[in-house]
Structure 1
Amino acid sequence: MLGNVIFGLLIPILIGGWILRRNVNILLAYYPLGVATSSCINSAGFNFFWNILPNTRNQSYAALPFDLGIYPIAGCLMMYMILIKNARSWPAIFITSLTLTLIEWLAKEMGRVIYFNDWNIYWTFFSYLLPLVVVYGYSKVFTLMYDVSEKNRK
């Protein structure tokens, strides 16, 4: 469990916090969405498709460091690249999904992640791609709402 906390929570929070220290609004806007989507997907996945070590009675407990760390921070960093660094959105989404999939593949190869019910690394890629597309769509809605509210103030 200590490895989950260090690699899934502490290191991503430190790296993400350092990169986003001047863009706290990105953290405030996208971090909660990342936690929510990660928790929902992991809750469903633990029941039907995968397991992570250490085994606990409630698998969500073992995934909590990841749900609070690497997954929401990856989404925030993706949005930072799109919004602040002007990266093209679809390549940023694809690269972020691919990076998270590679990290999970490494964990799977080390025996820390176990798949069952025909789940595989390809489905894992789509399980990262879909929430990141949702985060990007949320950013578009969020931007539209912000622009509309600014027009109503004038």
Structure 2
Amino acid sequence: MNVWLGFCLPWLIGIYILRDDRSLIYTIGPAASFIAFAFNEIGYFRQWWQVTPEQFGVLSFLPYNLGVFPVLGCLCVFSARKSKLNIFLLLILFSLLKTGLEMILVLFGKVSYGHGWNAFWTFFSYLIACSLTYGMYRLLRRA
């Protein structure tokens, strides 16, 4: 289930949407994936969240770290390049989207929270991650 929801489905959608701008996949995808790995390692270590199957530990995060998070990072930058929306509003919208998707996983028992973690902290962490991804894009664009 994690592989389908966290990896296959996001990449199928992402490749279709980004078919004319694949450079984002090669530049922003790895950066967004790295950011996801870092956040999920910290969250797992601090026991703020857990993804099923729990017996696999951080390996359960792998499909998400290599799938939905880099795809959404690419789509965020793609949207920033194509739309006239203020970048701060766009970062908030993508953070809300990620938070909403995660809340669905929480409702279905795929993700569980601990040690005071909740939807607010999830949104805040996604806002930081989206901002870092966009900042990486800005840095790469200047190089």
Paired position in structure 2 for 1:91 = 89
Which amino acid counterpart does residue 88 of structure 1 have in structure 2?
N
Which amino acid counterpart does residue 9 of structure 1 have in structure 2?
F
Which amino acid counterpart does residue 134 of structure 1 have in structure 2?
L
Paired position in structure 2 for 1:107 = 105
Structure with the bigger RCO (C-alpha within 8 Å, sep 6+) is: 2
Q: In the alignment, does 2:115 pair up with 1:136? A: no
Paired position in structure 1 for 2:26 = 28
Which amino acid counterpart does residue 96 of structure 1 have in structure 2?
F
CA distance in 1, matches of 2:86, 2:76: 10
CA distance in 1, matches of 2:138, 2:6: 28
TM-score, structure 2 length as denominator? 0.94
Which amino acid counterpart does residue 51 of structure 2 have in structure 1?
I
Q: Which runs of 5+ in 2 are unaligned?
A: none
Paired position in structure 1 for 2:52 = 53
Find the residue that maps to 2:55 and give its secondary structure: coil
CA distance in 1, matches of 2:63, 2:136: 24
Find the residue that maps to 1:114 and give its secondary structure: strand
CA distance in 1, matches of 2:84, 2:68: 22
How many residues align? The count is: 142
Q: CA RMSD in A?
A: 1.1
TM-score, structure 1 length as denominator? 0.88
Q: Which runs of 5+ in 1 are unaligned?
A: 146-154
What displacement does 1:144 show?
2.2
What displacement does 1:143 show?
2.1
What whole-Å deviation, never above 9, does each CA across 1:26-50 have from its counterpart, x for those lacking one?
1111000011000111011111111
Q: In the alignment, does 2:17 pair up with 1:19? A: yes
CA distance in 2, matches of 1:130, 1:17: 25
